[in-house]
Amino acid sequence: MAIARMAKVLAIVEEENRENLMQAFQKMQNIQVKTIDSELLEKEPKLDSKKLTEYMDQLENVRSAKKYLESYLSSESFKDKYLTPLPEMSMEEIEKSQIVEETREITQKIWQQKKTLEEINSQIQINENEAEFYHKWRNLKALPEYHNEYRYTRLLLGTIPQTADNEYYDVLKQDNRISIEEIYQSKDEIGLTIAFDKDDSFEVNQFLNQNRFQALDYRFKDLPAKLLEAAHLEAETLRKKAQALRKELGSYRKEYNQLKIAEEVFYAKAERQKATELGLQKSDLFALEGWIEESKAQASLDQVRQALNGEVYLDYVTPTDEEHEEVPIQLKNHPLIEPFETVTSMYGLPAYKGFDPTSSLMPYYWIFFGMMIADLGYGILLWLGTFIPLKFFNIEAGMRKNLRFFHLLSYAVLLWGLIYGSFFGESLPFKLLSPTEDVIQVLALSIGLGFIQIIHGLFLNTKLNWVSDRLGAIKDGLAWIVMLFGFLISVLGPMLFNLQTLKQLGLYIAGFAAITILIVASLKGKNKLIGFGAGLYDLYGISSYLGDLVSYSRLMALGIAGGSIALAFNILVAYLPPVARFSVGIILIIVLQLFNFGLSVLSAYVHSARLIFVEFFGKFYEAGGQAFAPLKYLGKYINIK
């Protein structure tokens, strides 16, 4: 229910122990390294970053090789991907192995295979282009002798444009000086052989040019038909060679697994080096600062001392007020509330001395999400879809937190499904409310929940500002609470108790709150008249509160929409003939219900967040913190001991 108290760590070691210190910090995985005093860094030489460039290049090389292999490897089985435990190793064991040398050999082998395959594919493309040319001219029976020309005649190969009325072709055929043989036709051109007397060469060439004849410089020694056959044979040979290479790349599962471990190693080294370069090197000493949760500081630093055999100076202090802006934020909440930190993070983390709203938003988001889906069948699907992976699958920490988030929300969907008596759109024999029959009651419940949340937001505004700005807390928080309750009394009083005096009382209360806002605004302003005008402008905000309350009608609307769509799908399948209903109808209803389920979950997720961010956070919450990012391992492919 709070922001974790942080402490600033200072570490000093001899230069020869610098890497040991960084390894110890990384092993703890709970220390965020910070840039040491910038004034000192300007006076002292910064650490050389060539090593970081080297590690980043190695990491990128490994990731690129791994990604390239993925396109040739067969997909991992479901069991291997999700059910088989990750291998457990210590980073010391990995880094002391021959992983770097082995990785270099593996990547070189992969890139060589890639280069060879690209060359083969390039040759295949060239071969295909040549084969296309040979295929067009395959009916050619004689070769033009450009070097040993015929004695009395000349033979030309070439093309003319294809036209709808055969304009050029007809003109050429009518000329008695030339003999034409058509070799091929395509949509763009006509391939021809043209023979003519050598004595007419000048006139014929002019005539051919006038009719857009493009001569072909045919330099091959064999006829196209024979060359086409040879090209097909060569292409088949190249394809078999490429297929063999792809098959070989597809057998590199062991190499791929080694690359995954190498990625862990180079990631760890790169992160350590990034953190190292935030420190200060002076003479033979190396100094480093960082952030750690205060509750974990003593135990963690004792382990670091032990890892370095005491050859290190370590201390931690509480950050000063001037340092609060740079202190990273680590939220600390109950396990049932912790998954809802993702909602807070989407909006923005609080400042270090700010207020963590996670515990305040959790019940509202939980209720709103369940109310917008409100179907027992969908609740069961969401429960199973999150419980099974959480219980049996190997899932990284970030995804596990998201699954826990939706797993907790599934209970809200189950609860509201029972309240509405809905099961995949069908009515259950028991229900407390019907969103289609009890529309007024459901709408009133939606608006009522919204009223409670808005009052809660204003209460938090009052509480958070009471000490630092009491007048502001009254004007922007307490007075609005009183005014909204006044309007509530004036509306509900006559309706519930049939007492018109309650209407007058409520309006008097609201008027008193409005006057209070004007007075406080005048007192806060340097110019009383301008302050009074600002107060009038604040009172205009009553229209926004009305809009905020109307926004909560989506709680009812989305619940009705999801149930109505589900019911419509059921009716659609029910209209099918019996044979279709119990064959293709089963598949159809499953697909349609899953589609509506996904749409309902997405809508509830987005609109619940919208109600939190706009109608709730807008009343009191200001973000501005940076997330705590400790120096740690990747931990994606192996469990680091």
Which residue blocks in 175-334 are alpha helix, DSSP H? 201-210, 224-249, 253-276, 294-307
For residues 426 and 588, give the distance between their C-alpha atoms in angstroms, rounded to a whole number: 17
Q: Are 119 and 428 in contact (CB under 8 A)?
A: no
For the chain, list residues with pLDDT below 70: 1, 37-48, 96-97, 145-151, 528
> How many Å apart are CA 159 and CA 300, to the nearest integer?
82
Over residues 30-72, the pLDDT tens digits come to 999 998 865 555 555 555 678 899 999 999 999 999 999 999 9
CA distance 238 to 120: 6
Residue 552 near residue 449 (C-beta atoms within 8 A)? yes
CATH code assigned to 144-219 = 3.30.70.2750
Q: Give Cβ neighbours of residue 433 (< 8 Å, ≥ 6 apart).
A: 419, 420, 441, 442, 445
Pairing of strands 6-14, 285-293: antiparallel
One DSSP character per residue, 288-346 reads: EEEEEEHHHHHHHHHHHHHHTTT-SEEEEEPPPGGGGGG--B-EE--TTTGGGHHHHHH
Q: What is the dihedral of CA 394, 399, 405, 411, to 10 degrees?
A: -40
- pTM: predicted TM-score of the whole model, two decimal places: 0.82
The token pair at 276 is: 């190292």
pLDDT at residue 44 in the model: 54
Close Cβ partners of 110 (under 8 Å, ≥ 6 residues apart): 65, 68, 69, 249, 252, 255
Give the pLDDT confidence of 524-570 residue by residue, as tens digits.
Answer: 777 767 777 777 777 777 878 888 888 999 999 998 999 889 989 98
- Which residue, chain included where needed, has tokens 């953190």? 275
- Sequence spans of domains, the chain: 2-97+251-326, 144-219, 338-624
Q: What one-character DSSP code corresponds to residue 7?
A: E
The reported pLDDT for the residue numbered 147 is 46
- The neighbouring-strand residues paired with 332 are 2
Please list, in sequence order, all residues whose beta carbon lies within 8 angstroms of the beta carbon of residue 96, skipping any fewer than 6 positions away.
none
d(CA 181, CA 45): 82
Quickly count: other Cβ atoms within 10 Å of residue 116's Cβ.
13
- Residue 85: per-residue pLDDT: 78
Give the per-residue pLDDT at 601. Answer: 95
Please report, for residues 152, 176, 181, 311, 349, the alpha-carbon distance to residue 149 in angstroms, rounded to integers and kept in the order given: 9, 22, 19, 93, 86
Q: What's residue 1's pLDDT?
A: 53
Q: Are 461 and 476 in contact (CB under 8 A)?
A: yes
Is the Cβ–Cβ distance between 291 and 32 less than 8 Å? Answer: yes
Rounded CA-CA distance 618/362 in Å is: 16
